Amino acid sequence: MSSGIEGLDEALNGGYIRGRSVLVAGGPGTGKSIMSWHFLYDGIEKGESGILLSLDQSEDMIRSDMRRFGWDDETAVNSKLLTILAGSIRVVPQESGYEYLIAFDQSFLAEQPLTIPRLADMILRRAAESKAKRIVIDGLGPLLELAGNSFEIRQLIYAFIRDLTTDDTTVFLTHELRTIPGAVNDEMPFFISDGVIRLEMTYAQGDFIRTMRVVKMRGTDHVMRPIIFKITDKGIVAFPKTRLPD
Ligand SMILES: Nc1ncnc2c1ncn2[C@@H]1O[C@H](COP(=O)(O)OP(=O)(O)OP(=O)(O)O)[C@@H](O)[C@H]1O
Ligand SMILES: [Mg+2]
């Protein structure tokens, strides 16, 4: 499946693989969200609907950012080719410890305390309703934070990702790599995903150059070297033939 990014498909030997999951990991501002929107809009242009779950940006923010890159969010949402589920995690103090709730922008979901299995159910239901073939979870971080050190909840999150990935549904995950000391740095998402792409910023010749590196892509050949890319007002453009300066 095309990544929707000029220059990237050839480096991936054709693109992402249908029915598999791909994880894009990188630090803040490295382009993870924009990369996920390219994938969604590539589908939308082909009449293939998608779902975007974000737990760290409001729907309004997401849509206005999309618009700035030239994507027509209005038509995509109205035609149901794009469903945005934007929510946030709320911590509610209880007598013994805390209860974590996932509250969504859409008022009809706001009152419902959501647990991981309920969240998975909800996404699968919405995916079935809109026949979504592309599911984007932009930011595994809040979900992993919710799980804290609980092995059980982490297992539920991984089961949730596996449940979403079916024969003709492709799952695109983003994962923020944290450098904060003491942050839960879980490598499990890298192992459970079929593909992993790392977004990096490399300092060369007095400036930072954006690169992406395909760490793995089960089921296909791909280039190993860092691929230089730029973020422009049309989104991401990759330059697979250009080499990093030594
Ligand atoms: N029009 C533009 N031209 C060039 N660069 C841009 C433009 N718009 C945004 N950017 C760059 O894109 C970055 C945001 O990309 P994106 O939101 O995809 O990052 P992210 O990896 O999802 O970040 P976060 O971890 O905060 O969610 C900005 O920090 C900025 O550097
Ligand atoms: Mg983001």
Distance 32 CA to ligand 1 centre (A): 8
* Structural tokens at position 212: 């992406």
Inter-residue contact 30 to 130 (CB < 8 Å)? no
Tell me, in angstroms, the distance from the centre of ligand 2 to residue 69's CA. 14
Give 5 or 96, the one with higher predicted confidence.
Answer: 5
- Contact indicator for 27, 179 with CB cutoff of 8 Å: yes
- Examine residue 215 and state whether it is found in any structural domain, yes or no: no
Cα 95 to ligand 2 centre (Å): 34
Supply the pLDDT for residue 175. Answer: 93
pLDDT digits (tens, 9 = 90+) for 200-217: 999 888 999 999 999 999
pTM of the model: 0.93
CA of 30 to the centre of ligand 2 (A): 8
> Is pLDDT larger for residue 179 or for residue 228?
228
Neighbours of ion ligand 2 (CB under 5 A): 32-33
Q: Residue 101 is part of which domain span? A: 22-206
Number of domains in the chain: 1
- Does 32 contact ligand 1 (Cβ within 6 A)? yes
User: Is 205 near ligand 1, meaning CB less than 6 Å away?
Assistant: no
Question: Residue 159: what pLDDT?
Answer: 86
Q: Which amino acid is at 121?
A: D
Side chain identity at 229, as an amino acid letter? F
Task: Give the pLDDT score at 109.
Answer: 59
Name the pLDDT band for 181 (thresholds 50, 70, 90). Answer: low
At 93-148, the pLDDT tens digits run 778 777 777 778 765 555 566 677 778 888 888 899 999 999 999 998 888 877 77
**Domain annotation covers residue 52:** yes
In a domain, 228, yes or no: no
Q: Would residue 85 count as lying in a domain?
A: yes
> What is the phi-psi region of residue 166: left when phi exceeds 0, alpha when psi lies from -120 to 50, beta otherwise?
beta
